[in-house]
Amino acid sequence: MNRLVLAALLIPAVAAPLAHAHADGIRVTVQQDLAIARPSETISIPWKDVNAALPGAMVQKIAVKDARGHVLPHQVTNIAPQAKDPKHEGVAYGELLFQHSFAAGEKSANFTIERIDGVAPPFPIKTFARQVPERLDDFAWENDKIAHRTYGPALAAPAPPGVVKEVLVTSGLDIWFKRVDYPIVDRWYNKGHDHYHKDQGEGMDMYNVGKSRGAGGIGVWSGEALYPGVNYANFKILANGPIRTVFELHYAPWDANGREVSEVKRFTVDAGQWFDRIDSTFTASGDGPLTVAVGLNKTPADKGQSPKIATTRDGKVLLQWVEQSTNDAFGTAVVLPAAEGFAQDALNDLIVAKATPGTPLRYYAGGAWRRAGEITSRELWQREAATVAARDASPVRVTIAPTKGN
């Protein structure tokens, strides 16, 4: 395509504070400026504003409804709690999340938040993450579209004498391609290693990472060489579905062309999206910004596939479409809003940006498989990446007001 509309995935909107307290409910208006469709937009409202209008409201005692009165799945986080909650009044929650799919041309949508007498049912789990110590400290995550994993310290450790053990040192990101919308991470690991390398109706692990960046790993770029970290050192799960999963991977310091660099990578995984949002925060010795590069493996196809790889480098988007012999086609992409150009090394195609130590660098990484039946061509995959870029550049706006005051 000649031009990609630059955008991005699910930026939580900042809600205007409530003017009155002690309401019977809350009216929520969400507005957006794009003409394109925005499927599965995640709406975020600070819980302190919900609590101001509905004192003592609890996650299991509210309902979020659309304009037709349909109850929507919701999630309440405590990533950044407002306070302790000694009286069990709900004041310690962080934010209320729910989703809406804007149709093309739809600029505004209305919702209500209400108390309920009963108990809100559990909603279907659409996002999930966990460490997998039973498989050499893999860390795996997924939503209803796609799954990923990356590799921990147990995989990087040398095999003890007389022990046969896989060893791989990389901070690259892997993809597990799904054909179903339900969680598969636990199912596939429970089947036993290698079972998920064959498509048995749910999808398969057919993406090649090795020592490359995989699909969205990062490193420090010298202009001639890439200096990546190694396997993650530790992790922290901050929220875990049903709508959004947030976790951090911490990478121990490494030598990046003479500067000691470490990284905390925060992933935001939302339901209904092909891309994860990733915020990488670096610490570094010395002064000045870092030049970093996010990569896609140049040889991502499974063994024996004789792939045809079409690569797109356009503005803020680095994208691949890979046609395979027997396992069907797939796409990978990185959307980097701060991108300044492109590069490559022996293993990776790269998209490059400046990163200021201590300040998160945001980017998006994702993939899609034609066999899943939604992203079935290179053109559709390019359009999806352009939509991600456009959403990032134009977040939705949320306003809230009490429906009735005392």
Name the stretches of the chain with pLDDT < 70. 1-23, 80-84, 88-91, 191-194, 405-406
pLDDT at residue 403, as a whole number: 87
Residues 234, 92 share a domain: no
Task: Report yes or no: 310 and 378 within 8 Å, Cβ to Cβ.
Answer: yes
Q: What is the pLDDT of residues 245-298, one digit of tens each?
A: 999 999 999 999 999 999 999 999 999 999 999 999 999 999 999 999 999 999
Structural domain boundaries enclosing 328: 128-392
Task: Report yes or no: 277 and 9 within 8 Å, Cβ to Cβ.
Answer: yes
pLDDT at residue 17, as a whole number: 44
Q: What pairs with residue 11 in β-bridges? A: none
Tokens of 241: 């579905």
Number of domains in the chain: 2
Sign of the alpha-carbon dihedral angle for 359, 353, 150, 365: positive
Burial 110-143 (b: 16+ CB within 10 A, else e): ebbbbeeeeebeebebbbbbbbbeebbbbbbbbb
Whether residue 321 lies inside any domain: the answer is yes
Tokens of 49: 């504003």
Residues 52, 80 share a domain: yes
Residues 6 or more apart whose CB falls under 8 angstroms from that of 178 comprise 142, 145, 146, 147, 184, 202, 203, 369, 372
Whether residue 18 lies inside any domain: the answer is no
Residues 271, 137 share a domain: yes
pLDDT at residue 14, as a whole number: 42
Residues 140, 74 share a domain: no
Residues 97, 240 share a domain: no
Residues 153, 114 share a domain: no
pLDDT at residue 24, as a whole number: 81
pTM of the entire structure? 0.92
Residues 384, 318 share a domain: yes
Whether residue 214 lies inside any domain: the answer is yes
Whether residue 34 lies inside any domain: the answer is yes
Residues 154, 67 share a domain: no
Closest CA to 361 of 279, 293, 275: 279
d(CA 159, CA 380): 44
Q: Output the domain CATH number for residue 158.
A: 2.70.98
Phi-psi region of 393 (alpha: psi -120 to 50; beta: other; left: phi over 0): alpha
